[in-house]
Structures are given as structure tokens and as C-alpha cells.
Chain A
Amino acid sequence: MDLAKWKNKWKENLHSIKKQEMNKEKIAKGVFFAIVRKEFTDYITSWRIIILLFLILLTCVGSLYTAITSIQDAIDASDEAKAIARDSYLFLQLFTISDGTLPSFITFVGFLGPLLGIALGFDAINSERNKGTLSRLMAQPIPRDYVINGKFVSALLLNIVMFLSLGLLVMAFGIILLGVPPTFEEFARIICFLFLCIAYIAFWLNLGILFSVCFRQAATSALSSIAVWLFFSVFYSMIIDLISKSILNPEAMTSVEQAISRQGFVLNLYRLSPNYLFSESTTTLLSPTVRSLGPLTTEQTAGAVVSPLPLDQSILLIWPQLTGVIAATLICFAIAYLLFMKQEIRSN
């Protein structure tokens, strides 16, 4: 009897403890989402982001326009062209083609995406510190990492919303103006491309956050992020070109194997740059005719069927690039996270 009572009581106790824990967890989750919500609101109401979004929208409309006019001219030329269009992934060319006056959509995204990422991240932590809100925030009963995680999640969310809507809008315009619906594979490729864009921008976002933890001044962190971006987008390829000239000197090479290995080495040097990884993988995704990213010998291509790659093969081809970009993103975030967790809170 007594034992039964005890058991019951024990059960009740256990139940209430569990309930309490669950309640606590619920509150903690609520707090985290409150931080994300506040940060997200801050982002979409800040002039900096509004201007950048507007800029991106404008350039995308511009590049879309040139792409559409050049494609339409080709289609209108003959009825036969329509049939060809279906086979040659015409829809994807919306993103890659240009008539020479304006760069294509992917060039724009590759150029402005990093800027957006940096703009979202460069003053994440140091502005809180400089305004004196960080110590006030830290005095609230929240784990310290909520602050940096909240900022990252909200910026990523903005990024996702922005790029998904942009991509879907471009597709919609494409359907309306071209009159050619995308096949399922084209659709899937575009979604993969958008995912890639998001991962790529997340890298720059995290670089910005990392600098915002390192540097007390927002201007310093903005400038250093932009310096890194400029280095990779302009100077890095120049430097590699210079190096590759001596490496790939035809007089120094004696065999085919050596030529291939050296070519591979130079390519891998290029691949240290996130920009190169991004452009490699976007071209592969949006141009199914790309069959390989490395050097190919005529022996290897002998017997290959000349046709575009299916989606899964394209993804297989860029898998290392994709994981590379995501890894770089995570590494930046991890360093920023560790630094932030160990940093002093005091404002001066």
C-alpha cells in the first residue's frame, strides 16, 4: 500500500520535474526566437540593407532583360529553334546569357552577393559593443551564444528569403516573357543554384561576423572584409596567373603525366579562393554541358557520349566545391563563436 503510494508520488514528482524542464526549454526557445525576430526586423528596416536589396533587384532585372531579349531574338528566328531550345536547357540560360551590354545574372550575384553578406555581418557584434547594448544584453538571463547565433540565423534567414524570392521571380518572368516553361530538371537545377548562392553569401556573412568580433571599430571590420573580398575577386587570380606561368612553362615539362599534374596543381591553387569555387559550381549547375572541371585528355573523352550531364552527375561534379564553401563558412563561424565566447564583455 505504502509502496504504491510512494510510487505514485514519485511518478508525480518526476512528471512535474519533466514538465518544468520542458517549460524551461520552451521559454529558452522563445527567447532565442525573440532575438532572431528583433535582429531580422532590424535588418529589413535598416537603410543599408534596403539599399543593397534594391541594388540587387535592379541589376537582376537589368541582366534578365538583356538575357530575355537575346534569347527571344534567337527563338523568333525560326520554329525549329523552339524545339532546339527545349533540348538545350534554354531556360537556364536566363541566368547565364548576356548580350554584352550588361553582365549575366550569375556574374551579378557573384559580385553583389559577397557585398550583401558583408553588409549583413560586418557590424554584428562590434556595433552592440560600441553602443553599450552588449553588456546590457549580457546581463539578461540568456546564454552568451544566443547573441551571436541569433545574429547569424537572422541574417541567414534574410538571405534565404531574399534569394529564393529573387530566383522564383526571375523564373516567373522567364515563363511570362519567353513562353517556355522550365522542365523539372531545370527547376531543380535553379533551386540547387539558389542554395549554392545562399551558402556562398553565408560564407561572406560569417567572415563579416568574424571581423566584427575581432575589430572594435565597425569601419575597420567593414574595410577588412571588403579587402578580403577584393583580394579574392581581383588579385588572387592575377597572382595565380603569375605563378602558373612558371609552373606551366612548356619547356620545363617532359611528360603528359607531368603536364596534367601541374595543371591540376594550378587549378587547386585557384580553388583556394571561394570566388573560384562559386563560379565553377554555378557554371556546372547552370550549364549542363560542362562535363569536367579539370583537364581532360583525349583518351578520357574517347567514347564519351556528347550530351549534357544529368543533374545528379552535375551535382557529383561540384560536390567538393559545395562542401568546400560550406566548410569555409562553418570555420569562419566557429572561430567567431569561440572568440566571442572568450571575449571580455566590458565596453571600453
Chain B
Amino acid sequence: MLGEPIIALENISKRYDQHDAVNQLSLTISKGEIFGLLGPNGAGKTTTILMMLGLSEPTSGSVRVCGIDSTHNPIEVKRRVGYLPDDVGFYQHMTGMENLLYTAVLNGISRKDAEQRAYELLGKVNLLEAAHKKAGKYSRGMRQRLGLADVLMKNPDVIILDEPTLGIDPEGVRDFLALIKELNEKEKLTVLLSSHHLHQVQQICDRVGIFVDGKLLALGNVASLAKQLFLEDTFVIHVSASPVSKELVDKLRSIPAVHQVDRVDNELDIYCDQDVTATISKIVVESGSSLFYISRKDFGLDEIYHRYFEGRELNGSR
């Protein structure tokens, strides 16, 4: 869609003793996009990510990242891919700076370059004042930002973030996501981000994949996902008016875009494939009824989510 594929999964499966953690997953992520992997806890997101990095071997199928086979040549892949695990940890007795420098050494970066880059990145994630504080004293949000700096130390082509916003306050989440977006735009970084927080994913992702029980259920940007899942009834318009006569309902039915009108007392749910809110309000007012309330239900990821995960552990995980 955007360009050459940078991550290509082909029919990968991962089987643990009894159950399939990942089941026949095929997925392509293009260079320069932000891809959101969305799913409830235990859906196999982390397993998939670990297979991309060659840290876990797929039972079957092939994984190629940056054109390199992750299963057979994980070290080359890890040279180019930055991975921020969920609940990232640092050596607590070392300062944030020392932690970054250690990562740099492991990547074979010379001390001088590493120091310069570390300062640059700490400035970027807004941690310059805390650079020489022990990492054990960092707050959760600071740790996450230091994690991002740590991932960027090796100057990767792709960064993979596993639940990066978990446990940060809303303000922190916004800053963090803005930072990711900025990195994506300015440095042309490809970002893969897994989450069960749909709002956040929705905000910055170009494309989203919905992942349940090791299977990819739907794929695309938020609008096309809605289309895939709800077929023609993309919009639902909720109207509250009084009185609601039969003629009014018939009139509303006759709007070409409208497929169905459900009436409960004075409340109407109108299903249509275009946004016809304005027409509806006009018709209601012209028919002499008073319009109390009209609103369009957006099929955000929330709806999509609920349709899939109704009755699942969703409530527990959110």
C-alpha cells in the first residue's frame, strides 16, 4: 500500500503444548507506516513480536524482517530492529545514561558516538535532567521514555513497541504517542505497536490489525475496518423527537441512503451507508415534530472491539 514490505509474515504458527498461540498468521507491514496490532491480553501479540525478532521459533511458516530471515539470522535482524518490551526494565543501580551506554556497547557503537547519541536521545524524550539519576528511581512514565531512547540508540529501521502505553497517565500517553508519530514522520521509522488500548492505537496508526486467539480477524485502516465489519450500515444515527408519526418514519425511510429505521417510542435508530444527519434533522423539523436530540454513532475501534470481544475478558484487561 505504502511501499516495499519491511516485515513479512507468512503463515506463521506457534504451538504451545495444547493450544495455538498464533495460528496461520500472514501479515505484511510496509516501510514507513505505523501499524497497530490490536487484541485482548493473551491473543498472541507478544508471541508474534518475539517471532519477528527471532527470540522465539515459529512452529511453521516464515518470518522476514528487513529482508532477513528472523528465525535463521536473528542477530542481523536485531541489528536493525529496536524492541521495547512491555514492562521494560533497566539496571537499577546504573543511571539512565549508563544504561543507554551499555546498550550502545552491545550494539558495537564507539563510546564517543554513543555518548553524543545518548544525550541527543535523552533530550528528545525529555529526560536530560534525569540522565544521571539512578534508573531505579525513575517513574513508570520515565522508564518508558528511557525505553524509547534505548530502542533508538542503535538507529533502527523498525521499532517494535509492545504495549508501550501501559500504566502511563493520560498526559504521558499523549506525549509518548506524539513522540512516536514525530519519529515516524521525521526519521521515516517504521513502527509496529501492540496494544489493547484502542483509542491510542486509533490516534496514530495508519493501519490496524485485529488479533484474537492467534488469528488476524481484520486488517486495514479504521474506516475500512468499520466497512469490513459492518458491511453497508456504516453509520447509525440516533434521533429523539416528539411526536413521531408514521408519516415521519416513512419519510425517513424514503431517504435513498437509509436502509432501516428502528423505532422505540420516540427514539429512532436510523441505519444508513452515508452520513445523512443534516437531511434527517431537516425532515424531522419540517414535519412539525420537535427534535430533541440527534447524534451520529461513530464506528470507532470501540464498536469494532465490542463486536468481537463481547463477553470476553475485555473488562478485566482494560
Point out residues on A near B: beta carbons under 8 Å.
27, 30-31, 34-35, 38, 42, 45, 131-133, 135-143, 344-348
Closest residue of A by beta carbon distance from B162: A135
Contacts of B154 in A (CB 8 A): 140-141
> Do the beta carbons of A131 and B79 come within 8 Å of each other?
no
Q: How far is the CA of A142 from the CA of B103 in the complex (A)?
A: 11
> Do the beta carbons of A141 and B79 come within 8 Å of each other?
yes
- Tell me how far the C-beta of B19 lies from the nearest C-beta in chain A, rounded to whole angstroms: 15
CB-defined A-B contacts under 8 Å, sample of 23: A31-B106, A34-B102, A45-B93, A131-B90, A132-B87, A132-B88, A132-B89, A135-B55, A135-B85, A135-B88, A136-B85, A136-B103, A137-B106, A138-B55, A139-B83, A141-B78, A141-B154, A142-B106, A143-B75, A344-B56, A345-B50, A347-B85, A347-B87
Closest residue of B by beta carbon distance from A26: B108
Closest residue of B by beta carbon distance from A30: B108
Partner of A139, one of B78, B89, B91, B92: B78
Contact with A along B91-109 (1 / 0, CB 8 A): 1110000000011011110
Q: Name A's interface SS.
A: helix
Q: A141-B76, A142-B75 are in contact. List 13 more A-B contacts (CB 8 A).
A: A31-B108, A34-B105, A35-B106, A42-B93, A132-B85, A135-B85, A136-B83, A136-B85, A138-B55, A139-B78, A140-B103, A140-B106, A141-B154
Contacts of A27 in B (CB 8 A): 108
Contacts of A344 in B (CB 8 A): 56
From A27, A42, A141, residue with most partner B Cβ within 10 Å: A141
**Interface size in chain B (residues, C-beta < 8 A):** 29
Closest residue of A by beta carbon distance from B109: A27
> Do the beta carbons of B88 and A34 come within 8 Å of each other?
no
> At the interface, yes or no: B39 with Cβ under 8 Å from chain A?
no
Q: How far is the CA of A298 from the CA of B173 in the complex (A)?
A: 85
Contact with A along B118-155 (1 / 0, CB 8 A): 00000000000000000000000000000100100010
> Do the beta carbons of B89 and A34 come within 8 Å of each other?
no
Q: How far is the CA of A233 from the CA of B108 in the complex (A)?
A: 45
Q: Which 5 A-B pairs have the closest CB atoms?
A: A132-B89, A139-B83, A135-B85, A131-B89, A140-B106
Q: How far is the CA of A138 from the CA of B90 in the complex (A)?
A: 13
Point out residues on B near A: beta carbons under 8 Å.
46, 50, 53, 55-56, 75-76, 78-79, 81-83, 85, 87-93, 102-103, 105-108, 147, 150, 154
Closest residue of A by beta carbon distance from B57: A342
Contacts of A30 in B (CB 8 A): 105, 108
Q: A38-B102, A345-B55 are in contact. Are A141 and B82 (CB under 8 A)?
A: no
Closest residue of A by beta carbon distance from B136: A131
Contacts of A142 in B (CB 8 A): 75, 106
Q: How far is the CA of A42 from the CA of B94 in the complex (A)?
A: 10
Partner of A346, one of B50, B102, B105, B107: B50
Contacts of A141 in B (CB 8 A): 75-76, 78-79, 106-108, 154
> Do the beta carbons of A31 and B105 come within 8 Å of each other?
yes
Q: How far is the CA of A27 from the CA of B107 in the complex (A)?
A: 9
Q: How far is the CA of A140 from the CA of B76 in the complex (A)?
A: 10
Q: How far is the CA of A344 from the CA of B75 in the complex (A)?
A: 17
Q: How far is the CA of A42 from the CA of B92 in the complex (A)?
A: 11
